[in-house]
A and B are shown apart, each in its own frame.
Chain A
Amino acid sequence: EAAVTQSPRNKVTVTGGNVTLSCRQTNSHNYMYWYRQDTGHGLRLIHYSYGAGNLQIGDVPDGYKATRTTQEDFFLLLELASPSQTSLYFCASRGLGANTGQLYFGEGSKLTVL
């Protein structure tokens, strides 16, 4: 069973604060993703990566940076957090092959920006 672990699971910060969300996958998957989930909007793609050192821009990238340091680790950075970034964030990974497109999600990181 694919495993994707996110930390922290809950985070509260203030406007202008600096936040890093971490994601580690232990499945040797090539692709990793960061989504945010909001009521009425579903899951929206922020950034994704197909390998260490690679970064692809998603659909809602403004205010977010991301870095893929190894095949296992993908970080989402909010350098000047704003209340509009209060959300539930999901990391996911995907391998190549017959099940192309099947994402394995973590359990989510709830971020509150006051």
Chain B
Amino acid sequence: GDSVTQTEGQVALSEEDFLTIHCNYSASGYPALFWYVQYPGEGPQFLFRASRDKEKGSSRGFEATYNKETTSFHLQKASVQESDSAVYYCALGEASSSFSKLVFGQGTSLSVVP
């Protein structure tokens, strides 16, 4: 079946650092791609999505570009803040299920210190 791989399990940064969290996918067909964020004690929240090659999704200063050639959707932010500390999930919506089934990656825990 379709799958998502996030390379980093944990990332530790200082405020104003540049963030990259790597996400690669394996899918049959043309999936939709998503980023979600989860703060402590809460359920995950939708961050943004992209549904076609070279489309950029963005929200709250975070962005990612759908790359069909490299099967990637890497999350970036130019200058992180302590409030960005959270777990970030990359996910894909399976084309074979008309995008009704979402598959998540393992998650990346981001810690930002002042």
Contacts and interface: CB of A to CB of B under 8 A. Distances in A.
Interface of A: 4, 31, 33, 35, 40-45, 48, 50, 56, 58-59, 90, 92, 94, 99-108
B18 interface: no
A49 to B, nearest CB: 10
A90 B105 contact: no
A42 B89 contact: yes
Given A42-B107, A43-B89, A44-B104, A100 B46 contact: no
A56 B100 CA distance: 10
Given A42-B89, A43-B89, A59-B1, A48 B101 contact: yes
Contact of B49 (A4, A31, A101, A105): A101
A41 B106 contact: yes
Given A59-B1, A101-B34, A101-B49, A43 B44 contact: yes
Nearest to A106: B43
A101 B99 contact: yes
Contact of A100 (B45, B99, B104): B99
29 contacts: A31-B100, A35-B104, A41-B106, A42-B104, A42-B105, A42-B106, A43-B44, A43-B89, A43-B107, A44-B104, A45-B101, A45-B103, A45-B104, A56-B100, A58-B101, A59-B1, A90-B44, A94-B100, A101-B32, A101-B34, A101-B93, A103-B44, A103-B46, A103-B102, A105-B44, A105-B45, A107-B41, A107-B43, A108-B43
Contacts of B107: 42-43
The 9 A-B pairs at the shortest CB distance, nearest first, are namely A105-B43, A43-B104, A42-B106, A42-B107, A102-B46, A101-B93, A42-B104, A105-B44, A101-B32
Contacts of A101: 32, 34, 49, 93, 99, 102
A92 B36 CA distance: 13
A52 B97 CA distance: 18
Contacts of B91: 43
Interface in B17-57: 32, 34, 36, 41-46, 49
